[in-house]
Amino acid sequence: MAENTPARTIADGYATDGAALELGTVLVDGVCDPGARIRIPLATLNRHGLVAGATGTGKTKTLQALAGQLSDAGVPVLLADVKGDLSGMVRPGEQSKQVDDRVRDTGDDWTPTAYPVQFLSLGDGGVAVPVRATLTQFGPILLAKVLGLNATQESTLGLIFHWADLRGLPLLDTKDLRAVITHLTSDEGKAELKGIGGVSPSTAGVILRSLVNLEAQGGDTFFGEPEFDPADLMRQIDGKGVVTLLELAERAANPVLFSTFLMWLLAELYEELPEAGDLDRPKLVFFFDEAHLLFSDASKAFLDRIEQTVKLIRSKGVGVFFCTQLPTDVPNEVLSQLGARIQHALRAFTPDDQKALARTVKTYPRSEVYDLESALTSLGTGEAVVTVLSERGAPTPVAWTRLRAPRSLMAAIGDDAIREEAARSPLQARYGEMVDRDSAYERLTGRIASGPGGEATPVQAQPTPTPAPGEAPPPPPQPQDFSEKGWFSKVGEFLQSPTGRQITNTVTREITRSLFGTRRRR
């Protein structure tokens, strides 16, 4: 019978009946007990979590180890590979003295393992399969975050989206939104601008300039079609969950777009997935790396929607882990929703650091074994202070944990290898080439059809039907006014007709938007 040491007493709080992720083993007074196991029940992963710690403390390796075990359990994973360090998951790990020492300390039956990985990049210019979203689907609230708009400008952007929705003008890419704003601030559109809430031309101008700046940073290659289907995240290969690595690549100049895209994916999953109730393991686990980018300078409306989404999506069987340097980077309303805490070492070099440390300590259960303030600044690389939710839903005892080593390669595989992997992906055929179909830009600029080079080309004439014997010949076709003014005049006349009003009511019901203002898929 095992000796009842403080380490074993702590580990007793982590005992599980169902399947679990093995995090590592307990340390007390610098001594690691390989028999005192620390684990997270798979059934509680939809209660979300936090992985935090200063740079160089081992957060990325923790994410890699967690993702590998989830894949082994058949759970798909999405990881934001901000620095490119996680690409080695597609290769088996390599044995070394450091790995051998970690295996001995954690009692792990370590085996080199490769995982099924699909590599994605935001838009063109990256090394992986390009993924995109349409502006209509992305919605005004998330776009306002990307553009850095204030609350007033965000509200204005929402009105512009609403106007485009009602007029059936698809906003697929950035030139569509530019065309709409340009129209609304033109002489022809000023009356309509006043009719959608008194939007000031100066505010619309600010939005337009921010949009141009986004295009200069490559945003024009991200917004468009074909739009990424979040269902492609939830795949298995040979019983293993597919690990999706979203590469930052060319979007390093705009990391806010990167983090906001992750939030869009999460919002889309919430809208699409059915209610799942309590599951023995999650359907998908989402890791938000560099989470501070998501919350920094965010409007109250944006933060409220993050809180709502995190609260509600657990019932859809999705777990969310926020990864950042300081727990204080995450708002309290969101932090209170995170059941698992894996806290790597914190630094306390400045008064602000010391305040953050004191606040972090208060978020943990009281410990009779550790001085948490001292422990959080003394953790070694690959060690963390852990507390999770037990299978009963109660917080487990605080455990100073030596974490297991990942079983996949702990190194980047290089851009050329990622390109080769992406070229073999079934997603490449679906998302590899950008599509530019008829949308708001074409309709507002009066183009009837576009040739290969984008020139305006006429629509082919249709043959005139021959009247039957005894019938009067049909009236000659009337010339159509496809100018901007004529187009809106005809639309206005139609919308005032009984049929037009009926269709408008239907469209208004169909174009509904979710918590984040993203358009609901039909």
| Beta strands 77-81; 117-122: pairing state | unpaired
> How many Å is the Cα radius of gyration of the chain?
27
Asked if 404 and 24 count as a contact pair (C-beta separation under 8 A), the reply is: yes
Per-residue pLDDT in tens (0 to 9) along the chain, 522 residues: 457 899 999 999 999 999 999 999 999 999 999 999 999 999 999 999 999 999 889 999 999 999 999 999 999 999 988 777 899 999 999 999 999 999 999 999 999 999 999 999 988 878 999 999 999 999 999 999 999 999 889 989 999 999 999 889 999 999 999 999 999 888 888 778 777 776 788 898 899 999 999 888 878 888 999 999 999 999 999 999 999 999 875 555 567 888 888 889 998 998 889 998 889 999 999 998 888 888 887 878 788 888 888 999 999 999 999 999 989 899 989 999 999 999 999 988 888 888 889 989 988 999 999 999 999 999 999 999 999 999 999 999 999 999 999 999 999 999 999 999 999 999 999 999 999 999 999 999 874 333 334 343 333 333 444 555 555 555 544 444 434 444 444 444 544 554 444 444 433 334 455 566 666 554
Half-sphere exposure of 36 (CA within 13 A, CB side): 24
Closest CA to 75 of 120, 18, 21: 21
CA 106 to CA 37: how far, in whole Å? 8
H helices then E strands: how many in the chain?
20, 16
Q: What is the pTM of this model?
A: 0.83
User: Per DSSP, what are the bridge partners of residue 341?
Assistant: 50, 387
- Residue in 106, 118, 26, 44 with CA at minimum distance from that of residue 81: 118
pLDDT for 493 equals: 55
**CATH 3.40.50.300 domain position(s) in the chain:** 13-132+236-431
| CB-count burial class (<10 Å; 0-12, 13-18, 19+) for 465 | exposed
pLDDT confidence of residue 187? 84
**Topology of domain 13-132+236-431, per CATH?**
Rossmann fold (3.40.50)
Q: Are 129 and 246 in contact (CB under 8 A)?
A: no
Is beta strand 383-387 parallel, antiparallel or unpaired with respect to 340-343?
antiparallel
pLDDT score for 198: 64
pLDDT at 123: 86
User: Hey, what are 49's tokens?
Assistant: 């979590």
The rounded distance, in Å, linking the Cα atoms of 520 and 233 is 19
Q: CA-CA distance, 302 to 516, in Å (whole number)?
A: 7
Q: Which 3 state secondary structure label does DSSP give 185?
A: coil
- Of the candidates 430, 69, 40, the residue with the CA atom closest to the CA atom of residue 77: 69
